[in-house]
Structure 1
C-alpha cells in the first residue's frame, strides 16, 4: 500500500502570541475598562450637580509634555535594541526611567497644588475623582517605571538585543499605553472639569 503525502500550499498558521504578551494585553484591557467606567461615573455624577469648579493644576501641562518625551526616548531605545546598539539602548532606557520618575514627582506636586486650592480627596466629588484618576494612573506608572528599570538592568546584562526583544516590546507597549492613558485623562479633565 502506497500512502500519498500531499503538501498543502498556503496552509494557515495558528495565531500565536507569547504568553506574557497575552497577559499584558489582558491587563491593559482591564485597565482600560476601569478608567472607562470611572470616566463614565464622572460624567454621570457631574450632571447631578453639587460640583466644585476649579482650574486644573498647571503642572499637568508639564507632566503631559514629560510623558510624551519619555515615549520618544523609549522608542529611541527600542530602535537601538533592534540594531544591537546597546549603548544607545541603555541611554534611551536611562532617560525614559528618569522622565518617568519626574512625571511621578510632578503628579505629587499636582496634589500639593490641589490642596493649596482647597481641593481635597474627601469633600466634593470633583476633587475625589481627580485624586482617584491621578492616583490610579500613578500606581500604574510606578509599575511602568519598575518595568523600565528591569529592562535597563537586562540591557546591562546583555539580555536585550535584536534576537531577544520580547521584554523590550512588552515594556514599550505598556509604557506607550500609560502615556496614551494619561493624555486621554488630561484631555477628558480639560473638557469636563
Structure 2
C-alpha cells in the first residue's frame, strides 16, 4: 500500500470544493423555492379577485425603487469582497465587506419606509397579507445576511482568523447575490403587479 503525506494539502478550498458552498447552494434552493411559491400565491390571489389591489392604492414606488437601486449597487462591493477573499487579501476583505455591510444597513433603513408606504395593512385582506408576506420574507433574508456579514467583518479584526474565514466571506457574497436576485421579481410583483391591467 502506498501512503501519501497529506500534511501539506490546504485545509480549505473555494467554490464547489468547499462544504460550505454546497450548504449555501442548498439553502438558496430551499429559500428560492419559498420565494417562488410566495410570488405564485400573489398571482393566484390576483387572478381570483375582481379588483387588485382590493379597494386601496398600490404601494408607492419611491421607497421600493430606491431600495432596488441600493441593492443593485451593493453588488459591486459584494463582488469586490468576494474577490479579495479568494485572493486572501485581508485589507481588501475588511474594506469591501465593510462597505457591503453599510449597503445592507442602508437597505434595512429604507425597508422600514418601504413597509410604511405599502398603503395596506397585513391583516386588511388577501392583497395586504400576500404583499406583507413577500416583503417580510425578503426582509428576513436580508437581516440574517447583514447579521452574518457583521459577524464575519468582526472576525477579520480578531486573532481568530484562519483561511476558512476567507471561504466564509466568499460564500457570504454568493448568498448576497441570491438576496439581490430574489428581490428583483419580488419588487416587480409588489410594485407593478398591482398596477398591471
Q: Within 1, Cα distance between the matches of 2:115 and 2:180?
A: 19
Q: Which residue of 2 aligns with 1:9?
A: none
1:28, distance to aligned residue in structure 2 (A): 0.9
Aligned Cα root-mean-square deviation (Å): 2.1
Q: Within 2, Cα distance between the matches of 1:34 and 1:82?
A: 30
Report if the CA contact (8 A) 2:78-2:100 is conserved.
yes
Gaps of 5+ in 2: 1-15
1:110, distance to aligned residue in structure 2 (A): 1.0
1:171, distance to aligned residue in structure 2 (A): 0.3
Find out whether 1:97 has 2:110 as its counterpart: no
Gaps of 5+ in 1: 1-15
TM-score normalized by structure 2?
0.79
Q: Which residue of 2 aligns with 1:18?
A: 18
1:81, distance to aligned residue in structure 2 (A): 2.9
Distance 1:146 1:189, change over 3 A: same
Equivalent position SS for 2:121: coil
Q: Which residue of 1 aligns with 2:59?
A: 56
Q: Which residue of 2 aligns with 1:128?
A: 129
Q: Within 2, Cα distance between the matches of 1:73 and 1:160?
A: 22
Q: Which residue of 2 aligns with 1:113?
A: 117
Q: Within 2, Cα distance between the matches of 1:68 and 1:91?
A: 19
1:88, distance to aligned residue in structure 2 (A): 2.7
- Over alpha carbons, which structure has the higher Rg? 1
Q: Which residue of 2 aligns with 1:153?
A: 154
Q: Structure 1: which 4+ aligned runs deviate by more than 3 Å?
A: 82-85
Q: Within 1, Cα distance between the matches of 2:162 and 2:84?
A: 10
Q: 2:87 aligns with which of 71, 83, 90?
A: 83
1:48, distance to aligned residue in structure 2 (A): 0.8
1:17, distance to aligned residue in structure 2 (A): 4.0
Find out whether 1:192 has 2:196 as its counterpart: no
Q: Which residue of 1 aligns with 2:173?
A: 172
1:24, distance to aligned residue in structure 2 (A): 1.7
1:65, distance to aligned residue in structure 2 (A): 0.9
Which structure has more RCO (C-alpha within 8 Å, separation ≥ 6)?
2
Deviating more after overlay: 122-131 vs 46-55 = 46-55
Q: Aligned pairs, how many?
A: 174
TM-score normalized by structure 1?
0.81
Q: Within 1, Cα distance between the matches of 2:174 and 2:88?
A: 20
